[in-house]
Amino acid sequence: MKKDANDLLEEAMKLPAEARAALAGSLLESLDEAIDEDSEAAWSKELEARIRELDSGTVRPVPWSEARKRIMEG
């Protein structure tokens, strides 16, 4: 990795977790050249459904630390 990229990475690692996740998502999206409209629509529908479940109390959010623990144990 070039020095500039290393400097950027070093700065990015100082960001809070949410900001790093958003940055990582943006970087990954920048690699996608073709957009699958059907896939985008399906994800939007899924996200809307999950938000409704959270707002209604149907599901309870799990902190990332707990979710990660469950994933690693599974």
* pLDDT tens per residue across span 32-50: 788 788 998 999 999 999 9
pLDDT score at 34: 81
pLDDT of residue 1: 61
**Residue 23: which of 34, 32, 13, 38 has the closest Cα?**
13
Tokens encoding 64: 């990332």
Single pTM value for the model: 0.49
12-34 pLDDT per residue, tens: 999 999 999 999 999 998 997 88
Q: Give pLDDT tens digits for 61-72.
A: 999 999 999 999
Question: Residue 15 has which token pair?
Answer: 């960001």
Query: Comparing C-alpha atoms, which of 46, 9, 39 is closest to residue 24?
Result: 9
User: How far is Cα of residue 41 from the mean position of the Cα atoms in its chain?
Assistant: 17
